[in-house]
Amino acid sequence: MRIALGVTGGVAAYKAAELVRRLQQEAFDVEVLMTRGAEEFVRPLTFAALTGHKVIGAMFAEGSSRQANVESAIEHIAVAQRIDLLLVAPATADVLAKFAAGIADDFLTTLYLATKAPVVVAPAMNVNMWEHRATQENVARLRSRGVCVVAPDEGYLACGMTGAGRLAGHDAILQAVREALDLRRDLSGETVLVTAGPTCEDIDPVRFLTNRSSGRMGYAVAEAAMSRGAEVVLVSGPTALAPPPGLTFVPVRSAEQMRRAVNAHLDSATIVIMAAAVADYRPTLRHPHKVKRGAPSLTLELELSPDILAEIGPRKEDRVVVGFAAETERLADHARRKLKAKPVDLVVANDVSRCDAGFDVDTNVVTFFSRDGSETELPRLTKREVAERILDEVLRLKSRTAHERKNAR
Measured between alpha carbons, how far is 134 from 297 in angstroms, rounded to an integer? 83
Distance separating the N- and C-terminal Cα atoms of the chain:
43
Helix axes 170-181, 15-25, angle to 10 degrees: 50
Phi, psi of 174 (to 5 degrees): -65, -40
**Dihedral angle sign, alpha carbons of residues 215, 220, 223, 229:** negative
The answer to whether the beta carbons of residues 199 and 254 sit under 8 Å apart is yes
The answer to whether the beta carbons of residues 371 and 318 sit under 8 Å apart is no
Distances (CA, A) of 345 to 272, 273, 348, 386, 388: 10, 10, 10, 17, 17
What letter represents residue 244's amino acid? P
Distant-in-sequence, close-in-space partners of 133: CB < 8 Å, separation ≥ 6: none
The answer to whether the beta carbons of residues 322 and 344 sit under 8 Å apart is yes
What letter represents residue 212's amino acid? R
Q: What is the separation of C-alpha 221 from the centre of its chain, rounded to a whole number of angstroms? A: 8
Phi, psi of 113 (to 5 degrees): -75, -25
Our answer to whether residue 159 is catalytic in this structure is: yes
Q: Which of these is catalytic: 148, 159, 200, 355?
A: 159
Measured between alpha carbons, how far is 218 from 152 in angstroms, rounded to an integer? 39
Tell me the residue length of the chain.
Answer: 409
For residue 258, the SS3 value is helix
> Which residue numbers are catalytic?
159
